[in-house]
Amino acid sequence: MSLPTINPAQARSLLAKGAILIDIREPGEHAHERIVGARNLPLSKLDEADLAAHQGKQVIFHCKSGARTQINAARLASKLNGSCEAFIVEGGLDAWRKAGLPVENERH
């Protein structure tokens, strides 16, 4: 099973309505730069994660460019097990930034 893709503007609209944004990149990548409000759930920890808490909510996954989420779409979908509607941000963080949407950067 694959997950539908949505563009950054669509993702932001869903977030404003209560959707949950999950960054599947590793913690170091997430710490360096992230979409404001994104929760970090790295692929390396996905098997241990309990996504049941998100049941009934829309979930949006993203990575840096969208490639990692596309490659792992079936794995992400199976982890949710149909408990909620889920999407992938097309183009990931790069597209989000390019659309002029807010990101946070690591502070030195």
84 is catalytic: no
- What is the distance between the alpha carbons of residues 96 and 93, in angstroms, rounded to a whole number? 5
- Residue of 63, 80, 86, 93 marked catalytic: 63
Active site residues: 63
